[in-house]
Amino acid sequence: MFIAKKHLPRRTFLRSVGATVALPLLDAMVPAATALAQTAAAPKPRMGFVYFPHGAVMDRWMPATTGREFELPQILAPLAPFKDQMTVVSGMRNKAAEGAGVHTVNPGTWLSCARPGSAADGASTATGISADQVAALAIGQDTPFPSLELCTEVKASSNGNCNPDYGCGYGSTIAFRSSVQPLPMEHNPRRLFYRLFGQGDTRAEREAIVAQTGSLLDLVTDSAATLQGRLGAADRIRMEEYLGSVREIERQVQILSDQDFSHLGLPDAPSGVPPSFDEHINLMFDLMALAYQADLTRIVTFMMAAEISMLTYNQVGISEAFHPLSHHQNNPDKLARLAVVQTYHSEVFARFLDRLANTPDGDGSLLDHAILLYGSNMSDSNLHNADPLPAAVFGGGYGRLAGGQHLKYEQDTPHANLMLTLLERAGVPLESLGNSTGELTEV
C-alpha cells in the first residue's frame, strides 16, 4: 500500500512582510509511513548539567529508603513538587576526582570522569571530553548554540583553583571538548543576553543591529571571494580559515533572524552582574530557561557557585563564607549551617524546574522533555571524597526517564555509568565514557 502525503522541511516558516514565524513540529514534517524516532524530526531533549561545589551533608541529602516510597530529606525537600520526575541516584563514585589537588580537578572531572591530561603527555582529544560536549556534537548542531557554559563566579588563578600540571581549566569549568580543551563559562547575564538574543538593549535595537550585521557579512564574503584569486597558496588557506569563522557567524545570525521571540516576552537586556547573588543566580537560570524555550540551545552546563567559593549566604542567614564552612570538622552547628546553604541551592533549582514545568513545549512542557542532572563531584566536603556522590536526575526526557524513585547502587559503581545512561536517554548512545562499565537500566 502506498501512502500519499506531502512532506514539509522541518525548518518551515510562515513569512509575511516584516514577520517570520517558526512552525512547531507537524505531522506533515514527518515522511509518510516513517517512524518518528527514525527521522531527523525525532524529538531531541534539552539537557542540563547543574553543578554545586563542596558536596553535600549526605545524611541530609540521601533518602533513608529506596524505591518509590521514599521521603526527601532536608536538602532535597524543596524539590518535592517534582518528585514524580525525579530520580535520586546514590552510590556513585568518581575516582577521577580523588587524589591530590581535589579543588583543582573537581569541576573538570565531573562530566568526563577522566583524570586530567596535558598536550605534553600526548593526551588524546577523544579522552576527557565531557558528557555535555558529547551531547552537543550529537543533538546540538542544528541550534544556533550547540551548547552554553554558564556560571555565577569567575575565580582568579590566585585562589588555589590552578594545578601546576593541569593548569587552571579543571578548577574553573565543567565543560571540556577534550582533556586539553576546557570551555570558558559565562557569568555576566548582560553578555549572555546579547549572545542569545543579539546586541541591543531593546527589541527595536536588536532587530536593527541583526539586519546590519547580515549585510556586513554579505559584504565581507563577497569581498573575500574576489580576493581569493589574487592570493598565494598559504594565504588562501588562511583566508579559507577566516571565511570558515565568518560562515559560522553568518549561520548563527541567519538562524537568529529566523527566530520569532515575540512570544517569549523578552525583557530589556540586564544591566550587568546584579549586586545580589540571589538575583544573579536566578537571572542566570531564567536566561537558561529562555534559551531552551527559544530552542537556541539544547545543552547547558551551569556552575551554581565556584570551587573554593567565598560567597556568603546572608539571604538565608549564613554570613560565614561557603568554602571555610564546608570544612565543618563534623561540628553539628557548622553542619546545620552548611545544610542551610545547600538547601538554598535546591530552592533556587526548584524555581527553575517550576518555570520549565509551566512552559509549554509541543505536546508537554519543557520539563517533560528535559534531562537534567543536579549534583556535585564531592561527597563529604570535610573529607574531600568522591564516594558516594550526591546526584539527582530530573525531567521526563520525552518519556525515557522513569522518575519518582530513589536508586542506591553497590559500592564503587562508577559515576561515569550515570553519564553514559543520560546520554543514551537523550538518544546519544556511547560505548564508554571515562571509567564506565555499563548503563544504569533503572534510571
pLDDT tens for 203-239 read 565 555 555 555 444 555 556 666 666 777 766 765 5
Q: How far apart are the first and last CA of the chain?
A: 40
Grid coordinates representing 86? Answer: 525525579
Question: 363 or 391, which is more confident?
Answer: 391
Percent pLDDT > 70 in the chain is 69
Q: Up-side HSE of residue 324: CA atoms within 13 Å toward CB? A: 8
Question: 26 or 393, which is more confident?
Answer: 393
- How many whole angstroms separate alpha carbon 203 and alpha carbon 35? 40
Backbone φ, ψ for residue 263 (5° rounding): -75, -10
- How many whole angstroms separate alpha carbon 291 and alpha carbon 431? 30
What pLDDT score does 201 carry? 58
CB atoms within 10 A of CB 400: 17
What one-letter code names the amino acid at 171? G
Q: What is the pTM of this model?
A: 0.78
Judged against a pLDDT cut of 60, whether residue 39 lies above it is answered with: no
Question: 255 or 334, which is more confident?
Answer: 334
What pLDDT score does 205 carry? 59
- How many whole angstroms separate alpha carbon 384 and alpha carbon 345? 20
CB-based contact 328:334 (threshold 8 Å): yes
- How many whole angstroms separate alpha carbon 413 and alpha carbon 437? 8
What pLDDT score does 255 carry? 55
